[in-house]
Structure 1
């Protein structure tokens, strides 16, 4: 199979779909790998390293989209890239379709076979291709929130860890999954006053056992959430419903009781965000103010630590890329039902239930396509 890896063009996105080491694995399996010139520079990988790995360098993305059977990326294809996709081609990347009707319509129109990293499942029921980026984003959310809390960045002027004689900042983490756990770990490590909120008693028990006295847990009902929001210096939105739009848990009305200069970091922004006042921002302009509350809603946070993120991502995406290339997407999915969960769009039809339900498409079950 001929596999193409274009340079990412989303704002400040420095990750790359294939590292030189991943390209070499694919070449070793007998596949042809085309890399757009400069695609790896954001992780410190030169064209010559890809050539040494057996890949072919191409100028510009046009030839890759025109000639390659599979396109491997990191972020969802932008409008110009979507215009180059074609029927029968495989697109393997993060998609986050539920809150993005324009992208979904373009993918349906193109006839492409679109496999989303974020809905591929694991044996334990988790999301292994989403997990490493969730770990990165969770940890980065505290760095971003701590910076946004600085007075020079519009914040309250609070140091999360405090100092002797001065209370630490209060951090509320909404969601005790991978993002929330990693955010809490970083915040607790800084010495902040941390509370993790979730609706699942088992999650609360697990994180409570892990953190012991370093972080508190609290059941996430409406009354508890409203009270916590009012007390917080920093709120991390870490809620995920796989493949679906995130629920709006913090409303605009709740902002009225927050202290001016408090910070909201919405890590769920890829799925539409879990704060009512959230809209996606970029690394160039990461924050904005609503009702004197600082909002940080960068949709590709891990892109800022591109080398760490790319290698962590390739560790989990490469095995499936190899299966797809070796067997073809249908046989790869017939023999691996977890990979089959990643199919979101095929030949003009939406195949993922949450996306179809959210955007009003008729669902084409994956099982019917594989029969």
Structure 2
């Protein structure tokens, strides 16, 4: 079995993981989140500089965690997109250097495929057909996934505007909660009543697309509620607003995910991405999947947020599938859509022919 080194630098986390035969051997993570907090969001140049400082130490830490040396690495996988261009360039440049020095193949990986593959490290290979709900700061998508690295990924829906994680960040700012908004709202909601404020469930009307997502209007509804309370001189109980907003997001996400499974006759739902770490999203998904007789797979929280292990997992799947390695002159693709797990024109052309 091949030891695959995975490198993830698409945003503000520097992640490194080592996977062999579907087993996570070791990993390390460094976040520059605290450096972005005062700006209320990620600053690309700050993220890129943090990756430059953290990447080599993370590689060493992951190797130590696995009890391996650099010379045990037999393949390198790296996030080549989507993400922040400056941040992606750091990871890709490092991956090229490691692959060249070690004389091993290099695989350019789609970031969102990494999120889907993260679940394989916790629960084994994905079934022949599954619906994958990816919910993160930049993406909210429902995907029909067959073989993750051999078949094209079919998009059932993508958010029309704000992603769910983006809405969490914006609502947290409205409520004067710290960045990042997801964990802050989750914490605040523990002391709140999820039924206190009847926030709308976006795109759930009879004439709306059944699988469509849109969270901008929900964010605006929270802002209007807060403005109305302040104008009336009323005390605002933040936990109630946080819990009600979180409930609206979780209700919408899980309702549409179950609908996708039923529409496409799929028996397994996989929920991944940073928002999959949210306690209410996880609980409601479990409750509704149980009611519907659908198997639910959600990685542990540490594998939901960006990490190097998930990229190594895709590389491992590509190696085991006998995929062609990426070209050494590969570049980054900051806004690429998820059609194939591997991001390389030559490799994609070969997959289409196959």
Higher relative contact order (CA 8 A, sep 6+): 2
Q: By the TM > 0.5 criterion, same fold?
A: no
Bucket of the pairwise TM-score, normalised by the shorter protein: 0.3 to 0.5
- Bigger-Rg structure (1/2): 1
TM-score, length-scaled by structure 1 = 0.33
Structure 1 or 2: more helix by fraction: 2
